[in-house]
Amino acid sequence: MTRSIVIVGGGPAGMMAGLLFARAGVPVTVLEKHGDFLRDFRGDTVHPSTLELFHELGLIDDLLARPHARAETLTGVIAGEEVTIADFRRLDTPCRFIALMPQWEFLDCVADAARRYPAFTLRMNAEATGLIETNGRIAGVRYRADEREQELAADLVIAADGRRSVLREAGALPLEDLGAPMDVLWFRLLKAPTPDNRTTGMFDPGRLLVLIDRGDYWQCAFVIPKGSAEEIRAQGIDAFRKRIAAARPDVADAVGEIADWDQVKLLSVSLDRLTRWGRPGLLAIGDAAHAMSPVGGVGINLAIQDAVAAANILAAPAAGGDDLDPLLERVQRRRLFPTRVIQRIQKIAHDLVIGPTLADAQPFDGLPLPVRLLQRFPTLRAIPARIVGLGVRREHVRSPDAGQMRH
Protein backbone atom coordinates (compact mmCIF):
# COMPACT_ATOMS: atom_id res chain seq x y z
CA MET A 1 0.00 0.00 0.00
CA THR A 2 1.41 3.40 -1.03
CA ARG A 3 2.52 5.57 1.88
CA SER A 4 0.94 9.00 2.32
CA ILE A 5 2.89 12.18 3.02
CA VAL A 6 1.95 15.55 4.50
CA ILE A 7 4.30 18.47 3.93
CA VAL A 8 3.91 21.52 6.16
CA GLY A 9 5.08 24.73 4.49
CA GLY A 10 4.52 25.91 0.94
CA GLY A 11 7.91 27.51 0.47
CA PRO A 12 10.58 26.37 -2.00
CA ALA A 13 11.49 23.17 -0.10
CA GLY A 14 7.91 22.15 0.60
CA MET A 15 6.57 22.84 -2.87
CA MET A 16 9.49 21.15 -4.62
CA ALA A 17 9.13 18.08 -2.41
CA GLY A 18 5.39 18.04 -3.09
CA LEU A 19 5.98 18.12 -6.83
CA LEU A 20 8.54 15.31 -6.77
CA PHE A 21 6.55 12.96 -4.52
CA ALA A 22 3.37 13.52 -6.55
CA ARG A 23 5.35 12.90 -9.75
CA ALA A 24 6.34 9.53 -8.26
CA GLY A 25 2.69 8.68 -7.62
CA VAL A 26 2.88 9.18 -3.84
CA PRO A 27 -0.23 10.81 -2.29
CA VAL A 28 1.05 14.11 -0.88
CA THR A 29 -0.69 17.08 0.72
CA VAL A 30 1.05 20.42 1.20
CA LEU A 31 -0.32 22.68 3.94
CA GLU A 32 0.44 26.40 3.53
CA LYS A 33 -0.72 28.79 6.23
CA HIS A 34 -1.15 31.79 3.92
CA GLY A 35 -3.82 32.27 1.30
CA ASP A 36 -1.31 33.00 -1.47
CA PHE A 37 2.42 33.24 -2.10
CA LEU A 38 2.46 37.06 -2.35
CA ARG A 39 4.91 38.07 0.36
CA ASP A 40 7.55 40.65 -0.41
CA PHE A 41 11.18 40.64 0.72
CA ARG A 42 11.55 36.90 0.50
CA GLY A 43 14.60 35.45 -1.14
CA ASP A 44 14.23 35.38 -4.90
CA THR A 45 17.60 34.33 -6.29
CA VAL A 46 17.15 31.12 -8.29
CA HIS A 47 20.66 29.78 -8.74
CA PRO A 48 22.10 27.62 -11.54
CA SER A 49 21.76 24.48 -9.39
CA THR A 50 18.00 25.01 -9.15
CA LEU A 51 17.68 25.94 -12.81
CA GLU A 52 19.50 22.71 -13.64
CA LEU A 53 16.86 20.74 -11.72
CA PHE A 54 14.08 22.40 -13.69
CA HIS A 55 15.96 21.51 -16.86
CA GLU A 56 16.06 17.86 -15.74
CA LEU A 57 12.31 17.95 -15.04
CA GLY A 58 11.53 19.48 -18.43
CA LEU A 59 10.13 22.59 -16.72
CA ILE A 60 12.86 25.14 -17.49
CA ASP A 61 10.88 26.84 -20.27
CA ASP A 62 7.83 27.14 -17.99
CA LEU A 63 9.95 28.67 -15.24
CA LEU A 64 11.86 31.14 -17.42
CA ALA A 65 8.62 32.27 -19.08
CA ARG A 66 7.87 33.89 -15.70
CA PRO A 67 9.04 37.48 -15.09
CA HIS A 68 12.68 37.48 -14.14
CA ALA A 69 16.04 39.15 -14.67
CA ARG A 70 19.36 37.41 -15.24
CA ALA A 71 22.58 38.06 -13.38
CA GLU A 72 25.59 36.47 -15.05
CA THR A 73 28.06 37.99 -12.60
CA LEU A 74 28.12 39.18 -9.01
CA THR A 75 29.74 42.55 -8.48
CA GLY A 76 30.38 44.84 -5.56
CA VAL A 77 31.89 48.14 -4.57
CA ILE A 78 34.73 47.75 -2.07
CA ALA A 79 36.85 50.66 -0.91
CA GLY A 80 35.17 52.74 -3.59
CA GLU A 81 36.23 50.39 -6.39
CA GLU A 82 33.79 48.31 -8.45
CA VAL A 83 34.89 44.68 -8.54
CA THR A 84 33.60 41.39 -9.99
CA ILE A 85 33.43 38.55 -7.47
CA ALA A 86 31.77 35.66 -9.35
CA ASP A 87 31.25 34.87 -13.04
CA PHE A 88 28.55 32.26 -13.64
CA ARG A 89 29.29 32.18 -17.37
CA ARG A 90 32.28 29.99 -16.50
CA LEU A 91 30.13 27.17 -15.07
CA ASP A 92 29.45 23.88 -16.83
CA THR A 93 25.66 23.81 -16.45
CA PRO A 94 22.68 24.46 -18.74
CA CYS A 95 21.81 27.88 -17.24
CA ARG A 96 24.86 29.98 -16.46
CA PHE A 97 23.16 32.79 -14.55
CA ILE A 98 21.12 33.57 -11.47
CA ALA A 99 17.45 34.16 -12.22
CA LEU A 100 16.15 37.04 -10.10
CA MET A 101 12.50 36.07 -9.86
CA PRO A 102 9.84 37.07 -7.33
CA GLN A 103 9.38 34.06 -5.10
CA TRP A 104 5.63 34.04 -5.67
CA GLU A 105 6.29 33.52 -9.38
CA PHE A 106 8.64 30.65 -8.61
CA LEU A 107 6.20 29.00 -6.21
CA ASP A 108 3.26 29.49 -8.57
CA CYS A 109 5.27 27.75 -11.30
CA VAL A 110 6.04 24.78 -9.04
CA ALA A 111 2.40 24.62 -7.88
CA ASP A 112 1.14 24.63 -11.48
CA ALA A 113 3.48 21.78 -12.34
CA ALA A 114 2.49 19.79 -9.25
CA ARG A 115 -1.23 20.17 -9.92
CA ARG A 116 -0.78 18.15 -13.10
CA TYR A 117 -0.44 15.06 -10.90
CA PRO A 118 -3.57 13.59 -9.28
CA ALA A 119 -1.53 12.57 -6.21
CA PHE A 120 -0.91 16.24 -5.31
CA THR A 121 -3.07 18.38 -3.02
CA LEU A 122 -2.33 21.95 -1.93
CA ARG A 123 -4.31 23.39 0.95
CA MET A 124 -3.92 27.13 1.46
CA ASN A 125 -4.96 28.96 4.64
CA ALA A 126 -4.05 25.81 6.57
CA GLU A 127 -1.76 26.59 9.51
CA ALA A 128 -0.08 23.69 11.27
CA THR A 129 -0.41 23.86 15.04
CA GLY A 130 1.05 20.56 16.20
CA LEU A 131 1.75 16.90 15.61
CA ILE A 132 -0.30 13.77 16.11
CA GLU A 133 1.71 11.17 18.02
CA THR A 134 0.75 7.52 18.42
CA ASN A 135 2.87 5.10 20.47
CA GLY A 136 5.93 7.36 20.18
CA ARG A 137 5.61 7.78 16.43
CA ILE A 138 4.42 10.86 14.52
CA ALA A 139 1.23 9.91 12.68
CA GLY A 140 0.01 13.21 11.25
CA VAL A 141 -0.50 16.92 11.90
CA ARG A 142 -2.98 19.20 13.58
CA TYR A 143 -3.81 22.36 11.70
CA ARG A 144 -6.20 25.27 11.71
CA ALA A 145 -8.34 25.97 8.65
CA ASP A 146 -11.82 27.39 8.09
CA GLU A 147 -11.70 28.74 11.66
CA ARG A 148 -11.56 25.29 13.21
CA GLU A 149 -8.97 22.80 14.37
CA GLN A 150 -8.49 19.82 12.10
CA GLU A 151 -6.30 16.73 11.86
CA LEU A 152 -4.65 15.00 8.94
CA ALA A 153 -3.13 11.55 9.27
CA ALA A 154 -0.04 10.60 7.28
CA ASP A 155 2.63 7.92 7.12
CA LEU A 156 5.27 10.65 7.00
CA VAL A 157 5.19 14.33 7.99
CA ILE A 158 7.80 16.58 6.37
CA ALA A 159 8.45 19.82 8.23
CA ALA A 160 9.29 22.49 5.67
CA ASP A 161 7.82 25.35 7.69
CA GLY A 162 10.87 27.58 7.88
CA ARG A 163 13.35 28.83 10.42
CA ARG A 164 10.63 29.34 13.04
CA SER A 165 9.30 25.84 12.49
CA VAL A 166 6.31 24.91 14.62
CA LEU A 167 6.79 21.23 13.85
CA ARG A 168 10.50 21.27 14.68
CA GLU A 169 9.63 22.51 18.15
CA ALA A 170 6.64 20.18 18.53
CA GLY A 171 8.83 17.23 17.54
CA ALA A 172 11.54 18.24 20.05
CA LEU A 173 14.26 18.12 17.41
CA PRO A 174 17.55 19.46 18.87
CA LEU A 175 18.89 22.73 17.44
CA GLU A 176 22.48 24.04 17.36
CA ASP A 177 22.79 27.85 17.11
CA LEU A 178 25.95 28.92 15.27
CA GLY A 179 25.36 32.65 15.83
CA ALA A 180 25.09 35.57 13.43
CA PRO A 181 26.44 39.11 13.96
CA MET A 182 23.87 40.86 11.79
CA ASP A 183 20.29 41.56 10.91
CA VAL A 184 18.95 42.99 7.66
CA LEU A 185 16.55 45.83 6.93
CA TRP A 186 14.70 45.24 3.63
CA PHE A 187 13.08 47.98 1.56
CA ARG A 188 12.64 49.01 -2.05
CA LEU A 189 13.59 52.08 -4.09
CA LEU A 190 12.37 52.97 -7.56
CA LYS A 191 14.90 53.03 -10.40
CA ALA A 192 15.04 53.44 -14.15
CA PRO A 193 15.17 50.11 -16.03
CA THR A 194 18.49 49.26 -17.64
CA PRO A 195 19.30 46.79 -20.45
CA ASP A 196 21.61 44.81 -18.16
CA ASN A 197 21.06 43.65 -14.60
CA ARG A 198 23.05 45.74 -12.12
CA THR A 199 22.65 43.82 -8.89
CA THR A 200 25.53 44.82 -6.65
CA GLY A 201 26.73 45.25 -3.09
CA MET A 202 28.53 48.07 -1.33
CA PHE A 203 31.09 47.36 1.40
CA ASP A 204 32.41 50.27 3.42
CA PRO A 205 33.57 50.47 7.04
CA GLY A 206 30.51 50.56 9.26
CA ARG A 207 27.96 49.83 6.50
CA LEU A 208 26.91 47.15 4.05
CA LEU A 209 24.21 47.66 1.44
CA VAL A 210 23.05 45.18 -1.23
CA LEU A 211 20.99 46.37 -4.20
CA ILE A 212 19.11 43.68 -6.11
CA ASP A 213 18.08 44.95 -9.53
CA ARG A 214 14.40 44.12 -10.05
CA GLY A 215 13.98 46.12 -13.28
CA ASP A 216 12.08 49.21 -12.23
CA TYR A 217 13.09 49.09 -8.56
CA TRP A 218 15.93 48.11 -6.27
CA GLN A 219 15.23 45.48 -3.63
CA CYS A 220 17.58 46.74 -0.95
CA ALA A 221 19.18 44.94 1.98
CA PHE A 222 20.84 47.20 4.55
CA VAL A 223 22.95 45.08 6.89
CA ILE A 224 23.03 46.17 10.53
CA PRO A 225 24.66 44.83 13.71
CA LYS A 226 22.62 42.13 15.42
CA GLY A 227 19.89 43.55 17.63
CA SER A 228 20.40 47.19 16.60
CA ALA A 229 17.12 47.65 14.71
CA GLU A 230 15.30 49.39 17.58
CA GLU A 231 18.17 51.83 18.05
CA ILE A 232 18.11 52.67 14.34
CA ARG A 233 14.33 53.14 14.39
CA ALA A 234 14.64 55.42 17.43
CA GLN A 235 16.91 57.73 15.43
CA GLY A 236 14.04 58.39 13.02
CA ILE A 237 13.25 57.63 9.40
CA ASP A 238 15.02 60.75 8.13
CA ALA A 239 18.29 59.64 9.70
CA PHE A 240 17.84 56.23 8.09
CA ARG A 241 17.28 57.82 4.68
CA LYS A 242 20.49 59.83 5.12
CA ARG A 243 22.42 56.66 5.97
CA ILE A 244 21.25 55.00 2.75
CA ALA A 245 22.06 58.07 0.68
CA ALA A 246 25.54 58.27 2.22
CA ALA A 247 26.16 54.60 1.47
CA ARG A 248 25.07 54.91 -2.18
CA PRO A 249 24.93 58.54 -3.38
CA ASP A 250 23.49 57.37 -6.73
CA VAL A 251 20.22 56.43 -4.98
CA ALA A 252 20.02 59.61 -2.91
CA ASP A 253 17.22 61.01 -5.09
CA ALA A 254 15.11 57.90 -4.43
CA VAL A 255 15.38 57.60 -0.64
CA GLY A 256 12.52 60.05 -0.15
CA GLU A 257 10.23 57.20 -1.20
CA ILE A 258 10.81 55.63 2.24
CA ALA A 259 7.97 57.47 3.94
CA ASP A 260 7.87 55.52 7.23
CA TRP A 261 9.06 52.39 8.98
CA ASP A 262 6.14 50.38 7.62
CA GLN A 263 8.08 50.26 4.35
CA VAL A 264 11.16 48.77 6.02
CA LYS A 265 11.04 45.09 7.02
CA LEU A 266 13.37 43.50 9.55
CA LEU A 267 14.94 40.13 8.78
CA SER A 268 16.37 38.65 11.95
CA VAL A 269 19.30 36.63 10.64
CA SER A 270 19.86 33.14 12.02
CA LEU A 271 22.55 30.58 11.36
CA ASP A 272 21.65 27.24 12.91
CA ARG A 273 21.00 23.59 12.14
CA LEU A 274 19.34 20.59 13.69
CA THR A 275 21.65 17.93 15.08
CA ARG A 276 18.89 15.39 14.38
CA TRP A 277 16.62 16.04 11.40
CA GLY A 278 13.89 13.57 12.21
CA ARG A 279 12.27 10.91 14.31
CA PRO A 280 9.88 8.10 13.37
CA GLY A 281 7.21 9.63 11.14
CA LEU A 282 8.83 13.11 10.97
CA LEU A 283 11.54 14.67 8.76
CA ALA A 284 12.69 18.30 8.67
CA ILE A 285 14.14 19.87 5.50
CA GLY A 286 15.05 23.34 4.29
CA ASP A 287 15.12 26.20 6.79
CA ALA A 288 13.34 24.01 9.31
CA ALA A 289 16.46 21.84 9.34
CA HIS A 290 19.06 24.57 8.84
CA ALA A 291 18.57 28.34 8.79
CA MET A 292 21.06 29.96 6.43
CA SER A 293 22.51 33.45 6.47
CA PRO A 294 21.72 35.74 3.50
CA VAL A 295 25.42 35.54 2.55
CA GLY A 296 25.52 34.31 -1.04
CA GLY A 297 21.72 34.08 -1.26
CA VAL A 298 22.02 30.29 -1.12
CA GLY A 299 19.24 29.45 1.34
CA ILE A 300 16.47 28.79 -1.19
CA ASN A 301 18.68 26.63 -3.35
CA LEU A 302 20.03 24.57 -0.44
CA ALA A 303 16.44 23.97 0.70
CA ILE A 304 15.47 22.78 -2.77
CA GLN A 305 18.45 20.43 -2.80
CA ASP A 306 17.10 18.94 0.46
CA ALA A 307 13.72 18.37 -1.20
CA VAL A 308 15.32 16.61 -4.16
CA ALA A 309 17.45 14.42 -1.90
CA ALA A 310 14.40 13.49 0.21
CA ALA A 311 12.46 12.49 -2.90
CA ASN A 312 15.44 10.60 -4.35
CA ILE A 313 15.71 8.51 -1.17
CA LEU A 314 12.06 8.19 -0.12
CA ALA A 315 9.76 8.47 -3.16
CA ALA A 316 10.24 5.00 -4.66
CA PRO A 317 9.95 3.22 -1.28
CA ALA A 318 6.88 5.32 -0.43
CA ALA A 319 5.25 4.43 -3.75
CA GLY A 320 5.97 0.75 -3.03
CA GLY A 321 4.54 0.87 0.48
CA ASP A 322 7.85 0.33 2.28
CA ASP A 323 8.52 1.47 5.85
CA LEU A 324 10.07 4.94 5.55
CA ASP A 325 11.34 5.38 9.11
CA PRO A 326 14.66 3.52 8.61
CA LEU A 327 15.38 5.72 5.57
CA LEU A 328 14.96 9.14 7.22
CA GLU A 329 18.50 9.22 8.60
CA ARG A 330 19.83 8.71 5.06
CA VAL A 331 18.37 12.09 4.07
CA GLN A 332 20.21 13.78 6.93
CA ARG A 333 23.46 11.97 6.10
CA ARG A 334 23.16 13.01 2.47
CA ARG A 335 22.47 16.69 3.18
CA LEU A 336 24.41 17.34 6.38
CA PHE A 337 27.81 17.61 4.68
CA PRO A 338 26.84 20.35 2.18
CA THR A 339 24.94 22.15 4.96
CA ARG A 340 28.01 22.14 7.19
CA VAL A 341 30.32 23.31 4.40
CA ILE A 342 28.11 26.22 3.31
CA GLN A 343 27.37 27.27 6.88
CA ARG A 344 31.09 27.14 7.65
CA ILE A 345 31.78 29.46 4.71
CA GLN A 346 29.01 31.77 5.90
CA LYS A 347 30.37 31.70 9.45
CA ILE A 348 33.83 32.68 8.18
CA ALA A 349 32.26 35.52 6.18
CA HIS A 350 30.41 36.65 9.31
CA ASP A 351 33.45 36.54 11.56
CA LEU A 352 36.15 37.83 9.20
CA VAL A 353 34.25 40.16 6.87
CA ILE A 354 30.77 41.26 7.93
CA GLY A 355 31.25 41.57 11.68
CA PRO A 356 34.52 43.56 11.44
CA THR A 357 33.15 45.71 8.60
CA LEU A 358 30.07 46.70 10.61
CA ALA A 359 32.16 47.39 13.70
CA ASP A 360 34.98 49.33 12.02
CA ALA A 361 34.80 53.01 11.14
CA GLN A 362 38.30 53.16 9.63
CA PRO A 363 38.51 53.38 5.82
CA PHE A 364 39.67 50.29 3.96
CA ASP A 365 43.33 50.30 2.99
CA GLY A 366 42.73 49.10 -0.58
CA LEU A 367 41.15 45.85 -1.71
CA PRO A 368 41.62 42.65 0.32
CA LEU A 369 44.09 40.20 -1.24
CA PRO A 370 41.47 37.62 -2.37
CA VAL A 371 39.52 40.34 -4.17
CA ARG A 372 42.67 41.67 -5.82
CA LEU A 373 43.42 38.17 -7.10
CA LEU A 374 39.91 37.86 -8.56
CA GLN A 375 40.43 41.10 -10.46
CA ARG A 376 43.90 40.16 -11.72
CA PHE A 377 43.01 36.58 -12.70
CA PRO A 378 39.40 36.50 -14.01
CA THR A 379 39.41 32.70 -14.33
CA LEU A 380 39.43 32.53 -10.52
CA ARG A 381 35.92 34.01 -10.52
CA ALA A 382 34.65 30.55 -11.41
CA ILE A 383 35.45 29.43 -7.84
CA PRO A 384 32.99 31.68 -5.97
CA ALA A 385 30.56 31.19 -8.88
CA ARG A 386 30.65 27.45 -8.34
CA ILE A 387 30.24 27.71 -4.56
CA VAL A 388 27.35 30.18 -4.82
CA GLY A 389 25.77 28.89 -8.02
CA LEU A 390 26.12 25.11 -7.71
CA GLY A 391 26.90 24.54 -4.05
CA VAL A 392 28.45 21.42 -2.62
CA ARG A 393 27.32 17.89 -3.55
CA ARG A 394 24.48 19.18 -5.70
CA GLU A 395 21.54 16.90 -6.29
CA HIS A 396 20.06 15.60 -9.53
CA VAL A 397 16.51 14.34 -9.98
CA ARG A 398 16.57 10.55 -9.54
CA SER A 399 13.11 10.01 -8.06
CA PRO A 400 10.74 8.06 -10.31
CA ASP A 401 8.20 9.54 -12.70
CA ALA A 402 5.03 7.46 -12.44
CA GLY A 403 3.66 9.17 -15.55
CA GLN A 404 0.27 9.77 -13.88
CA MET A 405 -0.68 13.22 -15.10
CA ARG A 406 -4.02 14.93 -15.40
CA HIS A 407 -5.10 15.69 -18.95
**CA 212 – CA 217 distance, rounded (Å):** 8
pLDDT single digits (tens) 371-393: 899 999 999 999 999 999 999 99
pLDDT reported for residue 404: 77
SS3 at position 112: helix
8 with 167: CB under 8 angstroms? yes
Report how far Cα 67 is from the mean position of its chain's Cα atoms.
18
pLDDT reported for residue 41: 53
* String of DSSP letters for 281-340: TEEE-GGGTEE--SGGG-HHHHHHHHHHHHHHHHHHHHHTT---GGGHHHHHHHHHHHHH
Encode the chain (407 residues) as per-residue pLDDT tens digits. Answer: 789 999 999 999 999 999 999 999 999 999 999 998 876 656 678 999 999 999 999 999 999 999 998 999 998 888 778 899 999 999 999 999 999 998 999 999 999 999 999 999 999 999 999 999 999 999 999 999 988 999 999 999 999 999 899 999 999 999 999 988 889 999 999 998 888 888 888 887 778 898 888 888 888 999 999 999 999 999 999 999 999 998 888 888 899 989 999 999 998 889 999 999 999 999 999 999 999 998 888 999 999 999 999 999 999 999 999 999 999 999 999 999 999 999 999 999 888 888 888 877 666 677 888 889 999 999 999 999 999 999 999 999 999 999 877 75
260 with 266: CB under 8 angstroms? no
129 with 161: CB under 8 angstroms? no
pLDDT reported for residue 206: 78
**Helix 103-114 crosses helix 12-23 at what angle (to 10 degrees)?**
20
Residue type for 55, please?
H
SS3 at position 147: coil
For domain 5-178+270-389, give its CATH number from 2.40.160.210, 3.30.565.10, 3.50.50.60, 3.30.2130.30: 3.50.50.60
**CA 389 – CA 94 distance, rounded (Å):** 12
Domain ranges, ordered by start, for the chain? 5-178+270-389, 182-225+227-267
**CA 331 – CA 308 distance, rounded (Å):** 10
Question: From the CB of residue 221, how many other CB atoms can be counted at a distance below 10 Å?
Answer: 19
Angle at the Cα of 387 from the Cα atoms of 384 and 388, rounded to 5 degrees: 85
Closest CA to 29 of 167, 198, 143: 143
149 with 142: CB under 8 angstroms? yes
**CA 359 – CA 356 distance, rounded (Å):** 5
